[in-house]
A and B are shown apart, each in its own frame.
Chain A
């Protein structure tokens, strides 16, 4: 097990190298002037472009430039992001917790409701519960998230005013950036509880609802399907018959016996979806103006903020590898037949 984890972690630098080099190579398609221009704010100082190019060696060979970036990364310096107006590492530290928070709430919805609907659908196959779950699932598949996001925003913010967009309200902003509010984890939901400030907690939570609902719809539809077919398959297996023959209650037969087997594919799916959410909340964060890492990535890309783009991709690659590792470890927890060697 430890062996396996170490070996997987050794793979991490390779993945990161591959992803970042590819991106770095692509950014070289932009002329050195274009890459330098972002760092020169004042149009009257355009003359200093050449100076920036020389200072950062933007005309050097790709490999030399990449090597330089890499050695900086090794020292913990991801560069400065002009689009976020702060160092890339600081931007990640600031925006990533908000996205993790969003992704976590989303995946929680997806797993809880997906497993529940999927189970109900399988247990009551061809009854109304099943029909309903299948309808919801088809609907979830066919509804693009930008349409759903805008619809939700229109109804629940525009009409009803229940759930506002953005990350938190102005009042909350004042509180959390005031001296009294301590930052423990960077996750506002947790920090507000640790500070004992329920107002901030509710505020942050209410801002999370719409993006989370929008995000979960696609994954939820998939989860219902996977859970349903997995459950149907397990319910037909011999050991379920044995469980019934032993005189166990329906609940035990369905949830303890079939359920524990049926949930195995769900775990992989959930961890893949979770990682996907971490790097892929771009559209939703943009629609809801949510201050997460996805929005940071989009703005960086729009403004050709190369340091920002590279930092964002580096982070996504690392998360991907770690997330997959986590899902492998989770596997062994549910399925005793799997041993990580």
Chain B
């Protein structure tokens, strides 16, 4: 991982709790990474691994039940986790923007697409309504929506899911942010549309040179877009490595399991291998490595003590097997 430049976004020991009927459940238990300028970090995890909560926490969009209980989220050295509302608002949408999982539900059904696009511009820039509108037309064209002028006056229900996600992308990129956070942006879409949207995000990211955090449960999606990959399991980072190395030589047994369960046209297999068992329920009290119950290589130490992240050759792996290597 080349980390010569000052990281644009840095997460340090981030902890997030959920308050539920059973008490306070930790869903993210100390996550750290840094995102250099122009790079894409893929965050991969199963449901309940804490990946969406982590994505929402960056702009402090967590639901009321969730709370950042520790750690820092540094954007250009300023801590978003403790920033005042007013300052945070100037970051949201302008410096760091976000796209979401369900594009149709993420747009307001009773406001026109044009209204929703221009209001983002007007919230952060001093523009006239007409300038904002002209800008909005250009943005829609940029994300590949034809007849942009006409479509500005349409409502989200007149757009397909893929088109809605294009609108969301246009909105997120409207002010050329430094960081884009994409929370499973293709999950709700058809496979063919998924590929188009991914290609679009990738192309726009390369063009503008912005950084991105790309959250997904799908390793195949990550392989096409990410420079670095962070594998999240039960609220802990299991492995963090440059994408090429991770796919070629996964060090953590969990990553190995994930990779071998990917369907591939090159491998001829009758049955896909799976990781047996279930991930722990969020907040479940764990002693030892959270993956130990499902790990084929687990030994006694794994069940007694949770391994720290072992660093080697620019990668981090949370596994006792990597101790001293």
Contact = CB atoms under 8 A, between A and B. Distances in A.
A242 B107 contact: yes
Given A239-B109, A246-B93, A247-B93, A337 B100 contact: no
B85 to A, nearest CB: 8
Nearest to B122: A248
B187 interface: no
Contacts of B227: none
Interface string A242-265: 111111111010001100110010
A260 B110 contact: yes
A interface, over-half SS: helix
Nearest to B89: A247
B111 to A, nearest CB: 7
Interface in B131-176: 155, 157, 168, 171
Contact of A247 (B91, B157, B168): B91
A77 interface: no
Contacts, number: 79
Given A245-B59, A246-B171, A247-B94, A337 B155 contact: yes
Contacts of B102: 238
Interface size range of chain A in the complex: 20 to 34
Interface string B84-110: 010001111110011010100111111
B86 to A, nearest CB: 9
A335 interface: yes
Contacts of A238: 100, 102, 105-106
Interface centre among B59, B108, B123 (most CB of A within 10 A): B108
Given A245-B98, A247-B91, A257 B120 contact: no
B199 interface: no
A242 to B, nearest CB: 5
B124 interface: yes
A239 B171 CA distance: 13
A341 to B, nearest CB: 16
A92 B92 CA distance: 59
Interface in A221-274: 237-239, 241-250, 252, 256-257, 260-261, 264
Interface string A296-337: 000000000000000000000000000000000000001111
B109 A245 contact: no
B119 interface: yes
Given A245-B92, A247-B123, A248-B123, A337 B109 contact: yes
Contacts of A239: 105-109
Interface string B53-88: 000100101000000000000000000000001000
Interface of B: 56, 59, 61, 85, 89-94, 97-98, 100, 102, 105-112, 119-120, 123-124, 155, 157, 168, 171
Shortest 4 CB-CB contacts between residues of A and residues of B: A247-B93, A247-B92, A246-B93, A238-B105
9 contacts: A239-B107, A244-B92, A245-B98, A246-B171, A249-B123, A260-B111, A261-B109, A264-B110, A336-B155
